[in-house]
Amino acid sequence: MSRARRHLRALIATAATLAIVVPLGWLWWASLVPDTYNVMDMGVVDLGGGPDMDHDMHAGQDVSTFTGPDDGDPDVAITVTARKESIELVDGPTVDGYTLNGTSPGPEIRATQGDLVEVTLVNESVPDGTTLHWHGVDVPNAEDGVAGVTQDAVDAGEEHVYRFVVEDVGTYWFHSHQVSHEQVRGGLFGTLVVEPKPPGLFPGGPVVDTVDVVAAVHTYDGRRTVNGKVGESWQQAEPGSVARVRVVNTDNGPMRTWVAGAPYQVVAVDGYDLNEPTDITDTSVLVTAGGRVDVEFTVPMDGSAVRIGAGGGGASLVVGPEGATAPDDDEPEAELDLLSYGEPAPIPFELDFDRSFEYRIGRWPGFLDGRPGLWWTVNGEMFPDIPMYVVAEGDVVRMTIENTSGEVHPMHLHGHHALVLSRNGEDYTGSPWWVDSLNVEDDETYEIAFVADNPGVWMDHCHNLPHVSEGLLAHLMYDGVTTDYVVGGDADNVPE
Ligand code: C2O
Ligand code: CU
């Protein structure tokens, strides 16, 4: 080969290498996320086809002004102290984690609809700082507990007071929203039950359950538990009594629950009662990560007990008379479809949408903050180019959630409950099914609708919490609302 030709070949090789390396380098560089940023500067503004507005991201009312009532004596007041310490599982080993008031799960808070709840969070020893997010409770934005969006993380040695009125009955839970993928897995959570006002003396008023118990399911270090106990938990109940069990999935993946030993009804999902649920047997119901399912049944008259399954693996709850035996912990194969369960009922808004958003979840190779990998995408873009869905107060909003990412995602919108309209193009035919956490399997598309009636800046993310730290999140913001809090910053806020 002549010298000139060799020279040409070397030039071509260099050019070819640069043609690969330069764009890659650019992609790498473009993916870098600053240590400190304001979520208002993130992502892709999406008006959902609604009217344009003066969306100046840094003008308007700050999220910190949307608080619960400032004065007035609380009806329920509790101090919750967070610690990093080991947890002694009942009938199980001791594991490293986090506690609230010395235990995990932390306290079960019970309130009555309309109560003013005041929770003082004291961080005694959580080194990264912590917060409490009221999962499924549509609190005013400043009480939402998201580090870097609605407040600063509460450092060890500091405290923070949450005050809000619980307007909706139902089963809820609360958990840290600071380094949440680590703190929630480690046990930094508790449950909140809002009971209906006493039914009063009206004859034929609502049946009051004689047994009402929470079953908070959590996996500590590979061991599935119900209310912090490995294996079988026990709740005494007389034959003939009506029992409501509030199953809360605090894990990162979906699980099934079921009732064995008596027919049962699914009476509520994500805190909202279903309309005219019917008796089912030999059927399980899916509880998505972060979701809640309330089941109700009558304890058999023959003296036997009933078992509430928690995904198999030995953890379950038995309800019945002392010493009674319950059926085995076998998971029924049939699964309830909430799209067609119960009976339709009027819904409180017209399906006439002011805005329609898409939340299309995929997965692509690329760089996330400089790290190469296969990362989640939302509407074809990777974090930090995630949607900022913009609404005006009062809008009726439709959101289409599509998942083609190869994995299930439990999608959780803060501050609102959404009505499930359809799945894969099939409209719902059963009870109105309201969710704050929705299990979206691979190759599924859901349409949901909600009313924008709670101004603020709200996270809308996957509740498989490691997925959030891998970029699977978006925000919903209201026109005229802004936040001065920053992710990172002096408080080292890390909401994921
Ligand atoms: Cu249960 Cu954004 O969280
Ligand atoms: Cu996910």
d(CA 346, CA 108): 33
Cβ of 463 less than 6 Å from ligand 1: yes
- Same domain for 161 and 241, yes or no, is no
- Cβ of 414 closer than 6 Å to ligand 1, yes or no, is yes
Res. 199: pLDDT tops 80? no
- β-bridge mates for residue 389, sequence order: 46, 476
Most confident of 5-9, 28-32, 295-299: 295-299
Residue 1: pLDDT band with limits 50, 70, 90: low
Give the pLDDT confidence score for residue 205 in this predicted structure. 52
Shared-domain flag, residues 329 and 351: no
- Given pLDDT bands bounded at 50, 70 and 90, which one contains residue 266? very high
> How many CB atoms sit inside 10 A of residue 20's CB?
9
Rg (CA), the chain: 24
Domain count, the chain: 3
Asked if residue 25 is part of any domain, the answer here is no
CB neighbour list of residue 474: distance below 8 Å, 6 or more residues apart: 43, 359, 378, 386, 387, 388, 389, 459, 460, 461
Q: Is 339 helix (H, G, I), strand (E, B) or coil?
A: coil
Q: Which atom of ligand 1 is nearest to the CA of 414?
A: 2
What's the rounded mean pLDDT across residues 11-39?
81
- Percent of the chain scoring above 70 in pLDDT: 97
Mean pLDDT of 283-289: 98
Cα–Cα distance measured from residue 242 to residue 227, given in angstroms and rounded to the nearest whole number: 21
Domain C-terminal end among 304, 335, 366: 335
Rounded Cα–Cα distance for residues 155 and 305 (Å): 46
Phi and psi at residue 403, to the nearest 5°? -125, 115
> Both 164 and 237 in a single domain?
no
Q: Taking 80 as the threshold, does the pLDDT of residue 171 lie above it? A: yes
Average pLDDT over residues 140-165: 98
Model-level pTM?
0.94
Mean pLDDT of 112-140: 98
Nearest-atom number in ligand 1 for the CA of 437 is 1
Could you give the angle at the alpha carbon of 328 between the alpha carbons of 327 and 330, nearest 5°? 120
* Higher local confidence (pLDDT), 404 or 3: 404
* Residue from 401, 282, 283 nearest 338 by CA: 283
Which bound ligand lies closest to the C-alpha atom of 469? 2
Answer yes or no: do 145 and 159 share one domain.
Answer: yes
Q: Distance, CA 180 to ligand 2 centroid (Å)? A: 14
Is the same domain home to 294 and 391? no
pLDDT reading at 139 higher than 90 = yes
Confidence of residue 12 (pLDDT cuts 50, 70, 90): confident
Mean of the pLDDT values across residues 359-384? 93
Structure confidence by residue, pLDDT tens digits, 218-252 = 999 999 999 999 999 999 999 999 999 999 999 99
Amino acid 42: pLDDT: 84
Structure tokens at 427: 């409209």
Considering Cα of 20, then 23, then 25, then 31, what sign does the dihedral take?
A: negative
Q: Is 398 in the pocket of ligand 1 (CB under 6 A)?
A: no
- My answer on whether 371 and 438 are in the same domain is yes
Q: Give yes or no for residue 148 having a pLDDT over 80.
A: yes
Asked whether residue 222 is assigned to any structural domain, the reply reads yes
Are residues 70 and 43 located together in one domain of the fold? Answer: no
Instruction: State if residue 416 touches ligand 1 by the CB under 6 angstroms criterion.
Output: no
Tokens matching residue 332: 């029924």
Ligand nearest to the CA of 439: 2
Residue 346, pLDDT > 60, answer yes
Q: Per mean pLDDT, which range of 7-21, 38-52, 132-146, 362-376 is the poorest?
A: 7-21
**Residue 309 domain flag:** yes
What percentage of the chain carries pLDDT values higher than 90? 85
* Distance (Å) from CA 19 to ligand 2 centroid: 34
Q: For residue range 328-344, what is the model confidence (pLDDT) as tens digits?
A: 999 999 999 999 999 99
Which residues crowd ion ligand 2, with CB under 5 Å? Answer: 409, 462, 464, 467, 472
Residue ending a domain, among 292, 310, 335, is 335
Give yes or no for residue 207 having a pLDDT over 60.
no
- pLDDT > 70? residue 209: no
In the structure, what pLDDT confidence band is assigned to residue 56 with cuts at 50, 70 and 90? confident
Residue nearest to atom 1 of ligand 1 (CA): 135
Given a cut of 60, whether residue 50 has pLDDT beyond it is yes
Q: For the ranges 19-23, 179-183, 372-376, which has the lowest average pLDDT?
A: 19-23
For residue 146, the ligand 1 atom closest to its alpha carbon is: 2
H or E element: which one contains 373?
strand 371-378
| Residues 150 and 73 both lie in one domain | yes
Is the pLDDT confidence value at 203 over 60?
no
In a shared domain, residues 73 and 46: no
**151-160 pLDDT, tens per residue?**
999 999 999 9
Tell me how far CA of residue 33 lies from CA of 30, 89, 146, 365, 385, in angstroms.
Answer: 8, 39, 19, 17, 10
C-beta 290 within 6 A of ligand 1? yes
Residue 141 has, within 13 A of its CA and on its CB side, a CA count of 25
Closest ligand relative to 254 C-alpha: 2
Flag whether pLDDT at 448 surpasses 70.
yes
**H helical segments located in 117-270:** 180-183
pLDDT of residue 362: 98
Start-to-end CA distance of the chain, whole Å, equals 59
Q: Is the confidence at residue 138, as pLDDT, over 70?
A: yes
How far is the C-alpha of 25 from the C-alpha of 153, rounded, in Å? 34
| pLDDT value for 54 | 66
Range of the domain at 478: 39-64+346-482
467 in contact with ligand 1, CB cutoff 6 A:
no
Is the pLDDT assigned to residue 438 strictly greater than 90?
Answer: yes
Buried b / exposed e over 57-69, threshold 16 CB at 10 Å, is: beebeebeebbbe
124 pairs with which residues across the strands? none
One domain, residues 422 and 379: yes
- SS3 of residue 107 by DSSP: coil
CA distances 173 to 44, 69, 250, Å, are 31, 21, 8
Q: How far apart are CA 458 and CA 347, in angstroms?
A: 24
Q: How far is the CA of 135 from the centre of ligand 1 (A)?
A: 6
pLDDT of 149 over the 60 cut: yes
CA-nearest of 99, 69, 282, 117 to 186 is 99
Which ligand is closest in space to the CA of residue 459? 1
Contact 181 CB / ligand 1 (< 6 Å): no
Rounded to whole angstroms, the Cα distance separating 276 from 408 reads: 29
Q: Is the CB of 475 under 6 A from ligand 1?
A: no
Coil, strand or helix at 28 = helix
CA dihedral sign, ordered 18, 23, 28, 33:
positive
For position 437, which CATH number holds?
A: 2.60.40.420
Query: Are residues 307 and 277 part of one domain?
Result: yes
Distance in Å, CA 65 to ligand 1 centroid? 21
Residue type, 188: L
Distance 465 CA to ligand 1 centre (A): 8
d(CA 47, CA 399): 12
Residue closest via CA to ligand 1's atom 3 equals 135
Instruction: Return the structure tokens found at 94.
Output: 């001791």
Nearest ligand to the CA of 408 is 2
Task: pLDDT band for 147, please (50, 70, 90 cuts).
Answer: very high
Distance 462 CA to ligand 2 centre (A): 5
Q: Please determine, for residue 79, whether its predicted confidence score (pLDDT) is greater than 80.
A: yes
* Residue 5, in any domain of the structure: no
Amino acid at 305: A
Q: How far is C-alpha 362 from the geometric centre of its chain's CA atoms?
A: 20
What is the pLDDT, as a whole number, of residue 183? 98
| Residue 287 pLDDT > 90 | yes
Structure confidence by residue, pLDDT tens digits, 466-485: 999 999 999 999 999 999 99
Structure tokens at 273: 């009662």
Task: Give the whole-angstrom CA distance, residue 417 versus residue 401.
Answer: 15
> Does 478 lie in the same domain as 373?
yes
Mean pLDDT computed over 309-317: 90
CA separation for the pair 282, 304 (Å, rounded): 17
